[in-house]
């Protein structure tokens, strides 16, 4: 089994944090996105979409999509449960994970990919207006999240879940995207400080 990893890029990081929380170690191969290694013939044979992460099982089966990889390991090693237990918990975690992807991680990513000079070769064409259009969306969602986190410790309830991983990665990705996390969002800052202090955050 081998995980094709992509350094500080947000989606591979989601998977690494998840594995660290589960206490799972496995061989990893770095794919250097800056050097366009994911565009090589060798990697395109692993994932024709030329994206990381990708998990290759011992029988050669390839699983891509960071959350699909996380779900695979949740089934292999159910403890601690990061996708929830029971119908209601699982639905709430899924809801928050999707909300954080669709309304935070993706808009932050659009800003980064369409405005950062380092992304010129990966985001073709770069559309600066799309970066600008997503900036207020990020702030609107952070405001909503701040209100929610006033009622509970973690994003989806009283325990740490995959939704917190997506949230942490998305908020950290705001820095290279040059998006501020205003002081007024005290609950998001409190939650972010706690998530950043977990050993898995360094994964």
Ligand X SMILES: N[C@@H](CCC(=O)N[C@@H](CS)C(=O)NCC(=O)O)C(=O)O
Binding-site ranges for ligand X (CB under 6 A): 6, 9-11, 33, 38, 50-53, 65-66, 122
Which residue lies nearer to ligand X by CB, 26 or 88?
26
Report the nearest approach of ligand X to the CB of residue 47 (Å).
Answer: 8
Cα–Cα dist 195/203, whole Å: 12
C-beta neighbour count of 46 within 10 angstroms: 20
Under 8 Å between Cβ of 4 and 31: yes
Nearer to ligand X, 22 or 38 (CB): 38
29 pairs with which residues across the strands? 4
Q: What is the closest distance, in whole angstroms, from the C-beta atom of residue 122 to ligand X in the complex?
A: 4
* Residue closer to ligand X, measured from CB, 86 or 125: 125
Q: How far is the CB of 34 from ligand X (least distance, A)?
A: 10
Closest CB to ligand X among residues 21, 146:
21
Q: What residues contact residue 103 under an 8 Å CB cut-off, 6+ apart?
A: 137, 141, 144
The residue among 65 and 89 lying less far from ligand X, judged by its C-beta, is: 65
Smallest separation, CB 27 to ligand X (Å): 19
Least separation in angstroms between CB 136 and ligand X: 23
CA distances (Å), origin 149, targets 39, 97, 125, 144: 40, 14, 37, 9
Q: What H or E segment, with its residue span, contains residue 2?
A: strand 2-5
């Amino acid at each position: 089994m081998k995980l094709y990893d992509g350094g500080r890029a947000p989606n591979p990081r989601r998977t690494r944090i998840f594995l660290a929380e589960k206490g799972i170690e496995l061989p990893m191969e770095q794919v250097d996105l800056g050097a366009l290694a994911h565009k090589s013939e060798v990697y395109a044979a692993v994932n024709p979409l030329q994206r990381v992460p990708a998990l290759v099982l011992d029988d050669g089966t390839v699983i891509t999509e960071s959350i699909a990889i996380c779900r695979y390991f949740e089934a292999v090693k159910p403890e601690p449960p990061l996708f929830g237990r029971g119908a209601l918990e699982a639905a709430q975690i899924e809801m928050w994970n999707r909300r954080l992807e669709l309304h935070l991680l993706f808009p932050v990513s659009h800003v980064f990919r369409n405005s950062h000079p380092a992304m010129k070769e990966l985001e073709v064409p770069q559309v600066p207006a799309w970066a600008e259009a997503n900036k207020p969306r990020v702030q609107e969602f952070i405001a909503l999240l701040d209100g929610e986190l006033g009622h509970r410790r973690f994003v989806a309830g009283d325990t740490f879940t995959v939704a917190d991983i997506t949230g942490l990665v998305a908020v950290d990705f705001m820095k290279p995207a040059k998006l501020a996390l205003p002081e007024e969002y005290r609950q998001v800052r409190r939650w972010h400080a706690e998530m950043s202090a977990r050993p898995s955050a360094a994964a």
